[in-house]
Amino acid sequence: MGSALAFPARENGNEVRIVGTHLDREIINRCKIENKHPKFNKEFPEGIDFYQIEELESALLGTDVVICGVSSFGVTWFAEKVLPVLPENVKMLAVTKGLIDSPDGKLITYLDFWKDKLNELGKNVSLNAIGGPCTSYELVAQDQTVVAFCGENMADLKYLKEVFQTDYYHIRLSTDITGIESAVALKNAYALGIALTIGLNQRAFGLDSEIHFNSQAAVFGHAVKEMYRLLEFQNALTLDNLCVGVGDLYVTVYGGRTRMIGILLGRGLDIDEAKAELDGVTLESLVISERVARVVKLNIEKGILKKEEFPLLLHIDEILTEKKAVNIPWDSFTL
């Protein structure tokens, strides 16, 4: 997604530099030769420069905006290796979606995690993030979408909107960081839960059977209820931003890695077998599912949350952590 955002940014006339992490050396090499990300069907707009991680400080010279496109697994790495060298007062925009669970049973957004690190460094950086239904491939293809940029400073958000908005990439702005960041992170866990039904139906009726939508829709509806309860628990500024997560939930169910891991689990594979089948693909849904479930279980023990309010999340967790067979708790959805 970090690379995909280079398209609207460059199309708006901005100078764009793409820097790979230490894991992206081959990708950057290919971009330099072909002017094309190996996972995109379209070349980058002319005028984009590519850098290896050792060239980061050179790439940052004169920079106004920095996009963070690491996965959840790279959040701490980004804090340790990139935040210390960011220019003072630069505006950062994160596409990474996730939450961190604390030992005392709280869920922390990545922006809040990075903010603590910046305070330790005594550095002033404007932290912002993107939420909403948008896949990297369809952004590159210029399919119409509406996303939300969130951050503390509305003036900074308006500046970022000018940098990235196009006639196909539409941006609304919000200072509700917790609401948007939580909603779009939770969608990865619940998209996995919805995809379980696809695998269950394939197991029952055959891999080439018609797709059944009743079961997907039923789990989708209940997933939204649990996401709503978690946003309340998170003290989101407005529950309206649940809509951002619901849109993201929809697009995630219909494509990508989370869909595939859910299908494989629904077919009867355990989590180790399913991960082996996907051969090292980064799975954000597993990270967020386990982190949120840990917080929910801890707060159930404290009497703050109720077990019967999160049957889907808790079932996803036991599938992942205890290798229990998929058995959607349908009757609990009616309570």
Read off the pTM.
0.93
Same domain, 265 and 204: yes
* 182 shares a domain with 131: no
How many structural domains is the chain composed of?
A: 2
In a domain, 315, yes or no: yes
Average pLDDT value for the chain: 95
**In this predicted structure, what is the pLDDT of residue 280?**
67
Where would I find the H helices in the chain? 6-11, 25-34, 56-59, 75-81, 110-121, 136-140, 154-164, 177-205, 214-233, 242-253, 257-267, 271-278, 284-301, 311-321
Provide mean pLDDT across the span 149-172. Answer: 98
Q: Are 150 and 265 found together in one domain?
A: no
94-153 pLDDT, tens digit per residue, is 999 999 999 999 999 999 999 999 999 999 999 999 998 999 999 999 999 999 999 999
Question: Does residue 304 surpass a pLDDT of 80?
Answer: yes
Please report whether residue 196 resides in a domain.
yes
Contacts of 231 (CB under 8 A, 6+ apart): 179, 182, 183, 239, 241, 242, 245
Range of 75's domain? 6-175
Residues 158 and 261 reside in one and the same domain? no
Eight-state DSSP code of residue 135: -
**Beta carbons within 8 Å of 40's beta carbon, 6+ residues apart:** 3, 4, 136, 137, 140
Q: Which of 150, 175, 200 is the last residue of a domain?
A: 175
Which of 129, 152, 175 is the C-terminal boundary of a domain? 175
Any domain includes 1: no
Per-residue pLDDT reduced to its tens digit, 17-73: 999 999 999 999 999 999 999 999 999 999 999 999 999 999 999 999 999 999 999
CATH number at residue 213: 1.10.1040.10
Domain boundary among 175, 202, 223: 175
Confidence at residue 32, expressed as pLDDT on a 0 to 100 scale:
96
228 and 308 together in one domain: yes
